[in-house]
A = this chain, B = another copy of it.
Amino acid sequence: MCPIKLIGFDLDDCLFDSTGLSERARIKGIDAMFKMGLKMDRKRAIRILSEIVKEYGSNSSKHYNHFLKRLNQIEENIEFISYNDRYKYIAAAVMAYHEEKVNSIKLYNDVEKILIKLKEFSIKTAIITDGIPIKQYEKILRLKIDKLIDLVVISDEIGIKKPNPELFNYCLKKFEVKGQETIYVGDRIDKDIIPANLNNIYSVYLHRGGKYDDYKAELEIQENYKPNYEISNLNDIFKIIDEINKTNP
Protein backbone atom coordinates (compact mmCIF):
# COMPACT_ATOMS: atom_id res chain seq x y z
CA MET A 1 0.00 0.00 0.00
CA CYS A 2 1.19 3.47 -0.83
CA PRO A 3 2.29 5.34 2.26
CA ILE A 4 1.89 8.64 0.46
CA LYS A 5 -1.53 10.06 1.31
CA LEU A 6 -1.05 13.73 0.50
CA ILE A 7 0.86 15.83 -1.99
CA GLY A 8 1.18 19.55 -1.43
CA PHE A 9 2.17 22.05 -4.10
CA ASP A 10 3.37 25.57 -4.18
CA LEU A 11 1.27 27.63 -6.62
CA ASP A 12 3.31 30.32 -8.40
CA ASP A 13 6.05 29.04 -10.71
CA CYS A 14 5.17 25.49 -9.71
CA LEU A 15 1.71 24.92 -11.21
CA PHE A 16 1.87 27.81 -13.67
CA ASP A 17 4.49 30.14 -15.09
CA SER A 18 3.90 33.05 -12.75
CA THR A 19 7.24 34.76 -13.43
CA GLY A 20 6.83 34.51 -17.20
CA LEU A 21 3.20 35.65 -17.11
CA SER A 22 4.08 38.73 -15.07
CA GLU A 23 6.97 39.57 -17.39
CA ARG A 24 4.80 39.22 -20.48
CA ALA A 25 2.05 41.28 -18.88
CA ARG A 26 4.49 44.04 -17.94
CA ILE A 27 5.77 44.21 -21.50
CA LYS A 28 2.17 44.40 -22.78
CA GLY A 29 1.83 47.44 -20.53
CA ILE A 30 4.93 49.03 -22.03
CA ASP A 31 3.66 48.29 -25.54
CA ALA A 32 0.33 49.95 -24.71
CA MET A 33 2.29 53.08 -23.82
CA PHE A 34 4.11 52.91 -27.16
CA LYS A 35 0.75 52.59 -28.90
CA MET A 36 -0.38 55.70 -27.04
CA GLY A 37 2.60 57.69 -28.31
CA LEU A 38 5.64 56.93 -26.15
CA LYS A 39 8.77 57.31 -28.25
CA MET A 40 11.96 55.66 -27.05
CA ASP A 41 13.91 52.47 -27.57
CA ARG A 42 11.66 49.53 -26.68
CA LYS A 43 14.44 47.39 -25.22
CA ARG A 44 15.57 50.28 -23.07
CA ALA A 45 11.99 50.82 -21.85
CA ILE A 46 11.68 47.14 -20.91
CA ARG A 47 15.03 47.25 -19.12
CA ILE A 48 14.04 50.34 -17.11
CA LEU A 49 10.75 48.71 -16.09
CA SER A 50 12.51 45.54 -14.98
CA GLU A 51 14.86 47.64 -12.82
CA ILE A 52 11.81 49.25 -11.23
CA VAL A 53 10.23 45.85 -10.56
CA LYS A 54 13.43 44.76 -8.79
CA GLU A 55 13.63 47.94 -6.74
CA TYR A 56 9.99 48.29 -5.73
CA GLY A 57 9.12 44.59 -5.63
CA SER A 58 6.99 42.62 -8.04
CA ASN A 59 3.80 43.22 -6.03
CA SER A 60 3.89 47.01 -6.23
CA SER A 61 0.89 48.46 -8.05
CA LYS A 62 2.84 51.54 -9.08
CA HIS A 63 5.36 50.17 -11.61
CA TYR A 64 4.12 52.32 -14.47
CA ASN A 65 3.86 55.43 -12.31
CA HIS A 66 7.50 54.95 -11.33
CA PHE A 67 8.39 54.23 -14.94
CA LEU A 68 7.06 57.58 -16.18
CA LYS A 69 8.59 59.44 -13.25
CA ARG A 70 11.94 57.85 -13.97
CA LEU A 71 11.75 58.75 -17.67
CA ASN A 72 11.30 62.35 -16.60
CA GLN A 73 14.50 62.07 -14.58
CA ILE A 74 16.76 60.19 -16.96
CA GLU A 75 15.45 60.80 -20.46
CA GLU A 76 15.85 64.16 -22.10
CA ASN A 77 13.47 63.83 -25.03
CA ILE A 78 10.42 62.75 -23.07
CA GLU A 79 8.54 66.05 -22.66
CA PHE A 80 5.90 64.96 -25.15
CA ILE A 81 4.17 63.09 -22.33
CA SER A 82 2.56 66.10 -20.73
CA TYR A 83 1.73 66.22 -17.06
CA ASN A 84 -1.92 65.95 -18.05
CA ASP A 85 -1.42 62.87 -20.18
CA ARG A 86 0.57 60.74 -17.79
CA TYR A 87 -2.45 59.11 -16.15
CA LYS A 88 -3.79 58.21 -19.57
CA TYR A 89 -0.53 56.41 -20.31
CA ILE A 90 -0.54 54.67 -16.95
CA ALA A 91 -4.20 53.63 -17.36
CA ALA A 92 -3.49 52.21 -20.82
CA ALA A 93 -0.52 50.26 -19.43
CA VAL A 94 -2.44 48.94 -16.43
CA MET A 95 -5.34 47.84 -18.65
CA ALA A 96 -3.05 45.95 -21.03
CA TYR A 97 -1.19 44.41 -18.08
CA HIS A 98 -4.39 43.09 -16.48
CA GLU A 99 -5.81 41.88 -19.76
CA GLU A 100 -2.73 39.74 -20.33
CA LYS A 101 -2.79 38.48 -16.74
CA VAL A 102 -6.45 37.48 -16.99
CA ASN A 103 -6.41 36.02 -20.48
CA SER A 104 -3.03 34.28 -20.66
CA ILE A 105 -2.78 32.49 -17.34
CA LYS A 106 -2.47 28.77 -17.95
CA LEU A 107 -1.24 25.65 -16.19
CA TYR A 108 2.08 24.07 -17.03
CA ASN A 109 1.33 21.24 -19.46
CA ASP A 110 2.05 18.51 -16.94
CA VAL A 111 -0.21 19.72 -14.13
CA GLU A 112 -3.80 18.78 -15.00
CA LYS A 113 -3.03 15.16 -15.90
CA ILE A 114 -1.08 14.70 -12.67
CA LEU A 115 -3.87 16.11 -10.53
CA ILE A 116 -6.43 13.84 -12.19
CA LYS A 117 -4.15 10.81 -11.79
CA LEU A 118 -3.55 11.59 -8.11
CA LYS A 119 -7.32 11.76 -7.61
CA GLU A 120 -7.63 8.33 -9.24
CA PHE A 121 -4.99 7.03 -6.80
CA SER A 122 -6.96 8.56 -3.91
CA ILE A 123 -3.98 10.68 -2.96
CA LYS A 124 -5.16 13.98 -1.50
CA THR A 125 -3.81 17.26 -2.89
CA ALA A 126 -3.23 20.66 -1.35
CA ILE A 127 -1.85 24.01 -2.42
CA ILE A 128 0.21 25.84 0.20
CA THR A 129 1.00 29.37 -0.88
CA ASP A 130 1.80 32.86 0.34
CA GLY A 131 0.08 35.84 -1.22
CA ILE A 132 -3.12 37.87 -1.03
CA PRO A 133 -5.93 35.31 -0.54
CA ILE A 134 -8.35 36.75 -3.09
CA LYS A 135 -5.58 37.09 -5.69
CA GLN A 136 -4.39 33.53 -5.09
CA TYR A 137 -7.93 32.14 -5.34
CA GLU A 138 -8.47 34.17 -8.49
CA LYS A 139 -5.48 32.36 -10.02
CA ILE A 140 -6.80 28.98 -8.87
CA LEU A 141 -10.24 29.68 -10.33
CA ARG A 142 -8.84 30.98 -13.61
CA LEU A 143 -6.57 27.92 -13.83
CA LYS A 144 -9.72 25.83 -13.26
CA ILE A 145 -8.10 23.54 -10.71
CA ASP A 146 -10.30 24.29 -7.69
CA LYS A 147 -12.22 21.04 -8.21
CA LEU A 148 -8.97 19.07 -8.49
CA ILE A 149 -7.37 20.36 -5.29
CA ASP A 150 -8.69 19.13 -1.94
CA LEU A 151 -7.41 21.99 0.20
CA VAL A 152 -6.01 25.45 -0.44
CA VAL A 153 -3.91 26.92 2.37
CA ILE A 154 -3.06 30.59 1.91
CA SER A 155 -0.79 31.94 4.58
CA ASP A 156 -2.55 35.31 4.90
CA GLU A 157 -5.79 33.43 5.44
CA ILE A 158 -4.63 31.55 8.52
CA GLY A 159 -2.00 33.91 9.92
CA ILE A 160 1.04 31.66 9.49
CA LYS A 161 3.42 32.50 6.66
CA LYS A 162 6.16 30.61 4.82
CA PRO A 163 8.79 29.60 5.82
CA ASN A 164 7.17 28.94 9.21
CA PRO A 165 6.98 25.13 9.35
CA GLU A 166 3.71 25.44 11.30
CA LEU A 167 2.01 26.34 8.02
CA PHE A 168 2.90 22.89 6.70
CA ASN A 169 2.00 21.24 10.00
CA TYR A 170 -1.42 22.95 9.79
CA CYS A 171 -1.95 21.18 6.49
CA LEU A 172 -0.88 17.78 7.90
CA LYS A 173 -3.30 18.19 10.79
CA LYS A 174 -6.14 19.12 8.44
CA PHE A 175 -5.71 15.83 6.59
CA GLU A 176 -4.74 13.86 9.70
CA VAL A 177 -1.59 12.58 8.01
CA LYS A 178 2.07 12.43 9.03
CA GLY A 179 5.00 14.08 7.33
CA GLN A 180 6.25 10.67 6.14
CA GLU A 181 2.92 10.19 4.34
CA THR A 182 3.31 13.50 2.52
CA ILE A 183 5.24 14.98 -0.40
CA TYR A 184 5.64 18.71 -0.93
CA VAL A 185 6.61 20.20 -4.28
CA GLY A 186 8.00 23.71 -4.49
CA ASP A 187 10.51 25.95 -6.23
CA ARG A 188 12.20 27.68 -3.31
CA ILE A 189 14.72 26.26 -0.86
CA ASP A 190 13.95 28.82 1.84
CA LYS A 191 10.15 28.88 1.68
CA ASP A 192 9.29 25.40 0.42
CA ILE A 193 12.05 22.85 0.97
CA ILE A 194 13.24 23.81 4.46
CA PRO A 195 9.78 23.94 6.12
CA ALA A 196 8.86 20.65 4.41
CA ASN A 197 12.07 19.03 5.69
CA LEU A 198 11.41 20.36 9.19
CA ASN A 199 8.05 18.53 9.14
CA ASN A 200 9.61 15.29 7.83
CA ILE A 201 7.69 15.80 4.63
CA TYR A 202 9.36 14.42 1.50
CA SER A 203 10.57 17.59 -0.20
CA VAL A 204 10.68 17.86 -3.98
CA TYR A 205 12.44 20.74 -5.68
CA LEU A 206 10.74 21.43 -9.01
CA HIS A 207 12.90 23.15 -11.62
CA ARG A 208 10.71 25.33 -13.82
CA GLY A 209 13.30 27.92 -14.78
CA GLY A 210 11.54 30.60 -12.70
CA LYS A 211 13.19 33.41 -10.82
CA TYR A 212 14.31 31.29 -7.84
CA ASP A 213 15.54 28.37 -9.93
CA ASP A 214 19.24 29.16 -9.53
CA TYR A 215 19.42 28.29 -5.85
CA LYS A 216 22.62 26.29 -6.17
CA ALA A 217 24.46 29.33 -7.41
CA GLU A 218 23.00 31.46 -4.62
CA LEU A 219 23.26 29.30 -1.56
CA GLU A 220 25.80 27.07 0.04
CA ILE A 221 23.34 24.25 0.60
CA GLN A 222 23.52 22.76 4.08
CA GLU A 223 22.43 19.20 4.61
CA ASN A 224 18.94 19.88 5.96
CA TYR A 225 18.37 22.55 3.30
CA LYS A 226 18.64 19.93 0.59
CA PRO A 227 15.53 18.70 -1.14
CA ASN A 228 14.93 14.96 -0.97
CA TYR A 229 14.27 14.96 -4.68
CA GLU A 230 14.77 17.27 -7.64
CA ILE A 231 12.64 17.07 -10.77
CA SER A 232 11.89 19.27 -13.75
CA ASN A 233 8.70 17.54 -14.86
CA LEU A 234 5.80 16.85 -12.54
CA ASN A 235 5.30 13.42 -14.12
CA ASP A 236 8.35 12.31 -12.18
CA ILE A 237 6.30 12.58 -9.01
CA PHE A 238 5.03 9.06 -9.70
CA LYS A 239 8.58 7.71 -9.83
CA ILE A 240 9.15 9.35 -6.45
CA ILE A 241 5.98 7.78 -5.04
CA ASP A 242 7.18 4.39 -6.33
CA GLU A 243 10.58 4.87 -4.78
CA ILE A 244 9.11 5.84 -1.41
CA ASN A 245 6.80 2.81 -1.64
CA LYS A 246 9.80 0.49 -2.19
CA THR A 247 11.73 1.83 0.79
CA ASN A 248 8.58 1.70 2.96
CA PRO A 249 7.03 -1.61 2.01
Q: Which A residues are within 8 Å of any B CB, using their own CB?
A: 84, 87-88, 90-92, 94-95, 133-138, 140-142, 146, 151-152, 154, 157
Closest residue of chain B to A91 (Cβ to Cβ) is B137
Contact A94 B138 (CB under 8 A): yes
Contact B84 A141 (CB under 8 A): no
Copies in the complex: 2
A95 touching B151 in the complex, CB below 8 Å, given contacts A87-B133, A88-B146, A146-B88: no
Contact A90 B152 (CB under 8 A): no
| Prevailing SS type, chain A contact patch | helix
A-B contact pairs, 18 of them (CB 8 A): A87-B134, A87-B136, A87-B137, A87-B154, A88-B137, A88-B141, A88-B146, A90-B134, A91-B133, A91-B135, A91-B137, A91-B140, A91-B141, A92-B141, A94-B134, A95-B138, A95-B141, A95-B142
Q: Which residues of B contact A154 (CB under 8 A)?
A: 87
Cα–Cα, bound, A137→B90 (Å)? 9
Cα–Cα, bound, A7→B200 (Å)? 71
Contact B134 A84 (CB under 8 A): no
Cα–Cα, bound, A88→B135 (Å)? 10
Q: Which residues of B contact A142 (CB under 8 A)?
A: 95
Give the Cβ gap from A91 to chain B, nearest Cβ, in Å. 4
Give the Cβ gap from A118 to chain B, nearest Cβ, in Å. 20
Cα–Cα, bound, A146→B140 (Å)? 35
Closest residue of chain B to A139 (Cβ to Cβ) is B91
Q: Which residues of B contact A92 (CB under 8 A)?
A: 137, 141
Q: Which residues of B contact A133 (CB under 8 A)?
A: 87, 90-91
